Structure 1
Amino acid sequence: MGQLTLDTQVSAIVTALPRSADLFREMRIDYCCGGKVSLKEAAEGRNLNPEKVLASVKIIERKQATRSSLEPTSFGNKTLIAYIQEKYHANLQEELPLLAPYITKVARVHGERHPHLLRIQEIFKTLRAELLAHTDDEDKNVFPLILEFMEKPTPELKEQLKLHVAELEQEHDNAGKLLHELRDITNNFTPPKDACGTYRIVYARLEQLEKDTFEHIHLENNVLFNRVRDAI
């Protein structure tokens, strides 16, 4: 998308920056049925300062750009782990709770006519629990162990890491299967033609979750864990 300005339509901003939906929801700016108006008009309609609203949108835009601008495969172990934690772990901890109410709402409102939305809700609930527990385990236990082992390998650390890496890769496989099912039942994250704005936001953000998670898994399985295996 081109330069975001006060004249950009709210709906176009949310299409380009799905996370801006959280900002607009908090500000009670309608990005769905009433989203075909400029940001300036929408902000003024809520008695908000349009420039301040635009500045908040720009922060979201910069965060999104930063997440996709670095090439981590050449990082050292400590930097790579910090990068995974900052870009992917922190992102999951922020995004999963924010996305949950949108999925609940869409399933509640449209689930009777579109029963696959109820399955989406189930998958998301499982993914959310598993991914948060998985990243917490990595942050608190496995990543410190990896750094300790790479600095000073011992037979004890080697055996611990073998078990941890095998378990984490199995958890990655499970997450991948759930994401593949999500893609299948959403027709490649293509919303119905008559889908409302919230319905479209759910699909857009699930697709972004899939993209981020596969990048995340790739960096761990094929870069970080490969380094561990080479050292073992």
Structure 2
Amino acid sequence: MSSFTLQTQVSDIVTAIPQSADLFRALRIDFCCGGKIPLEEAAVKRKLDPAAVLEQIKTLETKMVDYQQSRPGELTEPELVKHIQNKHHAFLWEELPALTPYVTKLARVHGEHHPELLRVQEIFTDLKKELLEHTEDEDQNVFPLILKFAARPDLGTAAELKPHVSELEHEHEQAGNLLKELREITSDFALPEDACGTYRLVYQRLEMLEKDTFAHIHLENNVLFERIRAAV
């Protein structure tokens, strides 16, 4: 059962479900400076149906709960590939473009007084490019080879896979280094005293991105790729 009602404050919803900021932004509901009001009041101000907005929030909440509860367990290679695509790849394709305008705004508005935010924007831009290209390569080229090998292991497919796996692990290391630098320059995503709602939102979602990406890398490097090596 959802914990949100029409009387839940908009700012509290965004704190619990950071992705709800995208919905509020699209609906032009202020979740930052004017977020300390009930959802019903905020919706009425925008001439929106409060119940319909609440329903959209509940959908996001269900999606987040399903995401958090999904576990790879003892999956077969095809199941593991599907799990990585449905959980981690889908998250990146949705979250990276959605987060971009917030990171850009944060650097533009606060970069003068917090110059580290300019580097945060650079790192995020590099990370976004690398991760989207990386996942596309996996989906289009590497995962089909892994599925082929899982169905019928042979030396030819194994030899074809080997350089791909090495390259992916190298790219994982690059992404990991960017994330480590991001955590370092933000002092573990610590917020300054003058942090606004957008500041909090960006840091919260960057930390979520870090957590998901490291879980993603672990599943590939230490589970999927290890199984491929063991089968050769």
**TM-score with structure 2 setting the length:** 0.97
Is structure 2 residue 134 aligned with structure 1 residue 134?
yes
- 1:9 alignment counterpart: 9
User: How big is each residue's C-alpha offset from its partner over 1:27-60, in whole Å with a ceiling of 9 and x where there is no partner?
Assistant: 0000000000011111111111111101101111
Mapping of 1:74-113 within 5 angstroms? 74-113=74-113
AA partner of residue 40 (structure 2): K
* Distance apart, 1:146 and its partner CA: 0.5
Which is worse superposed, 187-196 or 164-173?
187-196
AA partner of residue 191 (structure 2): P
Which is worse superposed, 11-20 or 74-83?
74-83
Contact 1:9 1:39 in 2 (8 A): yes
* Distance apart, 1:157 and its partner CA: 1.1
Contact 1:13 1:20 in 2 (8 A): yes
Q: Which runs of 5+ in 2 are unaligned?
A: none
* Residues in 1 aligned to 2:121 and 2:67: alpha-carbon distance in whole angstroms: 27
- 2:70 alignment counterpart: 70
* Distance apart, 1:73 and its partner CA: 3.0
Which is worse superposed, 16-25 or 145-154?
145-154
* Distance apart, 1:179 and its partner CA: 0.4
- 1:44 alignment counterpart: 44
- 1:115 alignment counterpart: 115
Runs of 4 or more, structure 1, over 4 Å off, are none
* Distance apart, 1:66 and its partner CA: 0.7
* Residues in 1 aligned to 2:52 and 2:46: alpha-carbon distance in whole angstroms: 13
User: How big is each residue's C-alpha offset from its partner over 1:2-27, in whole Å with a ceiling of 9 and x where there is no partner?
Assistant: 81111111001101100000000000
- 1:57 alignment counterpart: 57
* Residues in 1 aligned to 2:52 and 2:189: alpha-carbon distance in whole angstroms: 33
**TM-score with structure 1 setting the length:** 0.97
Count, aligned residues: 231
* Residues in 2 aligned to 1:134 and 1:73: alpha-carbon distance in whole angstroms: 24
* Residues in 1 aligned to 2:84 and 2:134: alpha-carbon distance in whole angstroms: 13
Contact 2:78 2:150 in 1 (8 A): no
Q: Secondary structure at the match of 1:74?
A: coil
Q: Secondary structure at the match of 2:70?
A: coil
* Distance apart, 1:68 and its partner CA: 1.0
Contact 1:73 1:219 in 2 (8 A): no
AA partner of residue 206 (structure 1): L
User: How big is each residue's C-alpha offset from its partner over 1:151-176, in whole Å with a ceiling of 9 and x where there is no partner?
Assistant: 11222211111111111011101101
Q: Secondary structure at the match of 1:104?
A: helix
Contact 1:73 1:223 in 2 (8 A): no
* Residues in 2 aligned to 1:186 and 1:44: alpha-carbon distance in whole angstroms: 38
Q: State the identity %.
A: 60
